[in-house]
Structure 1
Amino acid sequence: MDRPDASSHSVVAAPFPHHPLARLIADEIRQRGGWMRFERYMELALYAPGLGYYSGGHRVIGKDPADGSDFVTAPELTPMFGHALARQIEQALDATGTDQVWEFGAGTGALAEQLLGELGDRIQRYTIVDLSGTLRERQHARLAASHPEQVRKVVWADSLPDELHGVIVGNEVLDAMPVHLLSWDGQAWQERGVALADAPAGTEGEPAFTWADRPVPEGVRPPTDRPDADFVPGTVTETHGQAEAFVATLAERMSRGAAFFLDYGFPESEYYLPQRSGGTLMCHQGHRSDPDPLVAVGHKDITTHVNFTGIALAGQEAGWEVLGYTSQARFLTNCGLLRPLAASPPRDAAEVKTRAALQMLLAEHEMGELFKVIGFVKGEWFDALGFSQGDRTHTL
Structure 2
Amino acid sequence: MTTADSLTTTLTSRMVQAIQAAGGWIGFDDFMSRALYTPGLGYYANDLRKLGLMPGSGSDFVTAPELSPLFGRALAVQVGQALAHTQTDEVWEFGAGSGALALQLLQALGEQVRRYTIVDLSGALRTRQQQTLQSFGERVQWVSELPATMQGVVVGNEVLDAMPVQLLARGDGVWYERGVALAGERFVWADRPTPLRPPVEIDGSYDYLTEIHPQAEAFMRTLAERLQRGAAFFIDYGFPEAEYYHPQRHMGTVMCHRGHRADADPLVEVGLKDITAHVNFTGMALAAQEAGLSVLGYSSQARFLLNCGLAQLMEQAELPLRAQAHKLVMEHEMGELFKVIGLCTGEPWYATGFSAGDRTHTL
User: Shorter-chain-normalised TM-score: which range?
Assistant: over 0.9
Shift of 1:185: 1.3
What is the rounded CA distance, in whole Å, between the counterparts of 2:8 and 2:304 in structure 1?
A: 43
1:16–1:208 Cα contact (<8 Å) kept: no
Structure with greater helix percent? 2
Moved over 3 A (4+): 15-18
Residue identity matched to 1:225 = V
From 141, 154, 158, the counterpart of 1:155: 141
Shift of 1:380: 4.1
Question: Any gaps of 5 or more consecutive residues in structure 2?
Answer: none
Shift of 1:57: 1.5
What corresponds to 2:250 in structure 1? 277
Residue identity matched to 1:75 = P
Give the alignment of 1:152-231 within 5 angstroms.
152-198=138-184, 207-216=185-194, 218=195, 220=196, 222-226=197-201, 229-230=202-203
CA deviation map 1:310-333 (0-9, x unaligned): 000000000100000000000000
Shift of 1:381: 2.5
SS at match of 2:335: coil
From 325, 338, 341, the counterpart of 2:314: 341
Shift of 1:271: 0.5
Alignment pair present for 1:88 and 2:88 = no
SS at match of 1:310: helix
Shift of 1:187: 2.2
Alignment pair present for 1:361 and 2:346 = no
What is the rounded CA distance, in whole Å, between the counterparts of 2:69 and 2:129 in structure 1?
A: 16
What corresponds to 2:301 in structure 1? 328
SS at match of 1:365: helix
Normalising by the residue count of structure 1, what TM-score does the alignment of the two structures yield?
0.88
What corresponds to 1:204 in structure 2? none
CA deviation map 1:99-144 (0-9, x unaligned): 0000000000000000011111110010000001111111011111
What is the rounded CA distance, in whole Å, between the counterparts of 2:6 and 2:122 in structure 1?
A: 24
What corresponds to 1:69 in structure 2? 59
What is the rounded CA distance, in whole Å, between the counterparts of 2:221 and 2:118 in structure 1?
A: 19
What corresponds to 1:312 in structure 2? 285
From 226, 229, 233, the counterpart of 1:260: 233
Shift of 1:338: 1.1
1:105–1:130 Cα contact (<8 Å) kept: yes
What is the rounded CA distance, in whole Å, between the counterparts of 2:273 and 2:59 in structure 1?
A: 10
Instruction: Give the % identical residues.
Output: 59
From 246, 255, 267, the counterpart of 2:219: 246
Question: Any gaps of 5 or more consecutive residues in structure 1?
Answer: 1-14, 199-206
Aligned CA-pair RMSD: 1.5
What corresponds to 1:53 in structure 2? 43
1:184–1:231 Cα contact (<8 Å) kept: no
CA deviation map 1:186-226 (0-9, x unaligned): 4221000000013xxxxxxxx2110000011x4x3x11235
Residue identity matched to 1:325 = Y
What is the rounded CA distance, in whole Å, between the counterparts of 2:139 and 2:248 in structure 1?
A: 47
- How many pairs does the alignment contain? 359
